Structure 1
Amino acid sequence: MDRFRTCRAVVFDLDGTLADTVGDIADALNRTLSDFDLPPHPEDAVRGMVGNGLAKLLERGFSRHGVVLDETTRERACRRLLEHYAGRPCERARLYPGARAMLDALGAARIDCAVLTNKHEPIARDVIHGLGIAGSIKAVRGADVGFARKPDPAGLLDLVRTLGARPETTLMVGDSETDLKTARAGGLRGAVLVSHGYSAIPVAELGADAVINHLHELVAGLALAPEAD
């Protein structure tokens, strides 16, 4: 982790990295399935379906019931899923242990933080506000603001510019291979993966620069003042 001590900006993934958001996502998916007269999935099952955005979640959720959606039905179902999720984006979401103290420590050290997500940006902003960390996040980029989804690095590099940083002094923290690929494609200083996220592949096998089991390990890695939840 010593190599990250020159970093002056950190870009975080949201779902599975800063917060466990599966409860609200599962509720939105199951309400959508109900709209189409299909039974709900257990939350643990939905946990294994998340990743790469709501459209992919919808596809996985329907396919588990043996349903392949035609284009018209898929568009209608996507609208319903988005409406359900946007209506209740942060009723059950919870920050992971150490997240708030870690963000406070980065802010005190004048290290700017941003969020890059494949979630729709208005929903991401609502979740960030609902979690009470909006004051620690300087910028947010979602999947619906003109940039291709991760792992395309365009949104990431736009965030780096917005923060007034440079790729070589910016760190990305995520929970998946997609986040790792995004950081590599953007030429960032490094990529750290958390072990508590939603990755179907054990993150230790993905080749990140570091894997952490608790978000506060990032504070030590950046040589910041130690505080913890």
Structure 2
Amino acid sequence: FWVKIQHARPEGSKLRAGKGMNLPDSQLNVSSLTPTDISHLTFIAKHADAVQMSFVNSAHDVTLLDEALSRVKGDHLGIVLKIETRRGFENLPSMLLTAMRRPKVGVMIARGDLAVECGYERLAEVQEEILSVCEAAHVPVIWATQVLENLAQKGMPSRAEISDAVMAHRAECVMLNKGPHVIEALGVLDSILKRMEQHQTKKRALLRALRLAQNGR
């Protein structure tokens, strides 16, 4: 098929091999669980604690994974639903109900593909809804994609990155990407999250006494 580039950087962009393609306006009747995935499950069941399902789109996808894990004696494994498509976001409630038949379930907000699928201007709203649904279901959330990316890669964070790391406090887990300064990024993230523990739990403000008010007495 033909691909038409409608937007690129002024200096141009490269299409590299092995990259994915998002089709947000199309509903593809393709299973998220591939034959290669299934062939790996035997090893995973013996050596891992959990399995993450990428591009999960429906409760049927979750059922297929659950059945495949049962066949390889992987009923003890936790599963993480990686939400990275519009369809996956829209079907999250039904997917959670299916996944919660297992004892251990988590959700990853994969904000890279999710932004492409839903639109960058909607990403903030979408991630808030995922956090709310998972909090109601008592399902832990992994906050992922480009958290403190500049700091991990270049050693200096942007102001927006710091604000984003603050927002990550509402999740149970935050994922950092690798980089030459990732240890420093981990320390900064730890400091931010510890400070935020005094101000907020999940999406609820704790209304802690402000140091400004205390110092002004």
The answer, yes or no, to whether TM exceeds 0.5 is no
TM-score, reference length from structure 1: 0.31
Name which structure has the greater RCO, CA cutoff 8 Å, separation 6+.
1
